[in-house]
Structure 1
């Protein structure tokens, strides 16, 4: 919250076009050992591979120094050879056991037992982490690049399109649309408030193709009587969330999008994309999914 006399900051999206939050977090640590699993799940594949590789190399380097400290504890390892100690550590951690080098003292055997246990734990945790990342349900939902305001059944109506890009269905799909507005309280403090927008239809039992989400701009709508300049001044943003159950994996999926004033076209409608083939089947032209047409007064 900022006092109104403070310098006005240019508005930005709360939710980016890729569905991620556009928020800078201050005063909160980005890393927590107690939340390591979630952190690793949210890393990109490249960063995850880098973290795993770094941990793998560091662990083998540490054990290589321990094997060197064991003196003549590894049969056929050259004296003082770090490379021999390092690759013996690699073989031990992966439980390969080529047989060329092997422990021959009690201390070396204890080190091998500890490293073999760490290797088994590392493989099990790494495999579980990779599987968890692959099995995370993700929605392939397409939102129209723009929203339009046009007359529908005699009422100005806000519309945007949603499409399921997969061949399977999204069961019990539900759309929730909220309007985010910057308002000034009686204490002259700026706050961001959320208003839920009622829709003509906010549920779809079987969402397989496209869906035009519509909000009537009547006397009960926060949009009623609002001009484009007022939308810009109050930093309005339409936040959209879509949830449902993926038919294939039977897991909940989520998709997010937002529209800011520059994304809303007045007196436009979406181009028709539905047609029928010669044999009577429905056809959808996704090449025109984002196309709009000007509505003549």
Structure 2
């Protein structure tokens, strides 16, 4: 603790220190009923298409993409089955030609010239096809010039074999070279955090790249998924709203050679403008993060996804630094990649939010009300504060000596509510808030 305060100052407080000393972790959230996610932490979308009816024929119109999207076990099964059926079918055609011409019964006659030399049953016809298709050419079985139908079949076999090879081998190659596995080495922090940064209330999360190869033209986007009802009464499930993570300034274009903290400023244009710690306990939303870039080694586009639900957003936390300067290089400590710490008394900075001149007036008053509501949400009856949290006097200290509108203290009401609650708690009275 002393080392942390020596480095960051006395206004920070460690949330949890692991027993092994490996780093700092966030406090264990309250047990909450697990709800259905739209996007899993690993990026898989929990969406199933049903009742397609006659629309399933559209998959056959794009057969190549359909095969590539199949799972590996089905790809291997179709690969083996297609070659096996094609080989048996072509061997059967060679056997039919030999049977119609009578080569099977006169194969041992030295004066007779068959269509294909030394083909006298189905296994020998199958071996001739394999030797021809694979261009092995042992020299024992060969086609003669006395068989025009065999020459035509040989041309058909060459064309059909080229088409099957191009289709199946191309499908397997595309599937193996897909950059989906590249996304496994792109990391997202387990939690997002809301805290002050550069004097602004900011939603933050962290991304990292485990490989030394770079992601070219890396770009990040965020979507807020939240059900809502329009003023006309229409219910919109999973309505998608864009979260600005630097599109206007170019901050969404990443140079991802070391872990970066992505920021979304919570201002009047943000969907989280009315958000408070107390409202996070009741509302349901999901933040979907999409990271796209070009794989440097293959030149293919890669996309990595993750999501954060409302219980995975930590209020008043910041991420622990992971980059240190060594002798001749910068070192990234990924053991602290997900670690966060809580800043003590950071809500007081909300009093200086820009609004009217000097940061005073209505914005300051709303900030104080928000602080009071957060105190109610954290200190409800029957719910004790976390052991790692500071006392209420330190966490929710409200300054009532700042001038507000009409010359009156702007935070008098909020401060009075906190004092009344503290008094009732000390005297043993029932807290009704």
In the superposition, the TM-score normalised over structure 1's length comes to 0.81
Cα deviations across residues 203-258 of structure 1 (Å, max 9, x unaligned)?
34532111101122334321233357855765411111223344444554332222
> What is the aligned partner in structure 1 of residue 322 from structure 2?
273
Q: How many residues were matched structurally?
A: 285
Question: Contact 1:150–1:158 (CA<8 Å) still a contact in 2?
Answer: yes
The reply to whether residue 99 of structure 1 matches residue 143 of structure 2 is no
> What is the aligned partner in structure 2 of residue 12 from structure 1?
36
Measured in 2, the distance between the counterparts of 1:256 and 1:229 equals 28
Cα deviations across residues 243-279 of structure 1 (Å, max 9, x unaligned)?
33444445543322221223222333222211121x1
Shift of 1:131: 4.1
Question: Contact 1:173–1:245 (CA<8 Å) still a contact in 2?
Answer: yes
Question: Contact 2:283–2:310 (CA<8 Å) still a contact in 1?
Answer: no
Which residue of 197, 203, 206 maps to 1:158? 203
Q: Which runs of 5+ in 2 are unaligned?
A: 1-33, 104-114, 345-394, 396-433
SS of equivalent residue, structure 1 residue 85: helix
Equivalences for residues 42-81 of structure 1 within 5 A: 42-70=69-97, 71=99, 72=103, 73-79=115-121, 81=122
SS of equivalent residue, structure 2 residue 255: strand
Which residue of 147, 154, 173 maps to 1:112? 154
Shift of 1:154: 4.4
SS of equivalent residue, structure 1 residue 12: coil
> What is the aligned partner in structure 2 of residue 292 from structure 1?
340
Measured in 1, the distance between the counterparts of 2:41 and 2:124 equals 51
SS of equivalent residue, structure 1 residue 115: helix
The reply to whether residue 87 of structure 1 matches residue 127 of structure 2 is yes
Runs of 4 or more, structure 1, over 6 Å off, are none
Cα deviations across residues 15-35 of structure 1 (Å, max 9, x unaligned)?
233323221112142862321
> What is the aligned partner in structure 2 of residue 5 from structure 1?
none
The reply to whether residue 145 of structure 1 matches residue 190 of structure 2 is yes
> What is the aligned partner in structure 2 of residue 4 from structure 1?
none
Q: Which runs of 5+ in 1 are unaligned?
A: 1-9
Measured in 2, the distance between the counterparts of 1:11 and 1:31 equals 33
Measured in 1, the distance between the counterparts of 2:125 and 2:339 equals 64
> Which protein has greater RCO, CA pairs closer than 8 Å, 6+ apart?
1
Which residue of 290, 294, 299 maps to 1:241? 290
SS of equivalent residue, structure 2 residue 269: coil
Which residue of 14, 25, 32 maps to 2:49? 25
**Mean Cα deviation higher: 174-183 or 24-33:** 24-33
Question: Contact 2:195–2:201 (CA<8 Å) still a contact in 1?
Answer: yes
Which residue of 258, 264, 271 maps to 2:307? 258
Structure showing greater radius of gyration is 2
Change (3 A) 1:90 1:265: farther
Shift of 1:67: 2.6
In the superposition, the TM-score normalised over structure 2's length comes to 0.58
Change (3 A) 1:30 1:260: farther
**Mean Cα deviation higher: 226-235 or 183-192:** 226-235
Change (3 A) 1:127 1:183: same
The reply to whether residue 211 of structure 1 matches residue 239 of structure 2 is no
Question: Contact 2:133–2:158 (CA<8 Å) still a contact in 1?
Answer: yes
Shift of 1:183: 0.8
Shift of 1:189: 2.8
Which residue of 214, 228, 244 maps to 1:198? 244
> What is the aligned partner in structure 2 of residue 6 from structure 1?
none
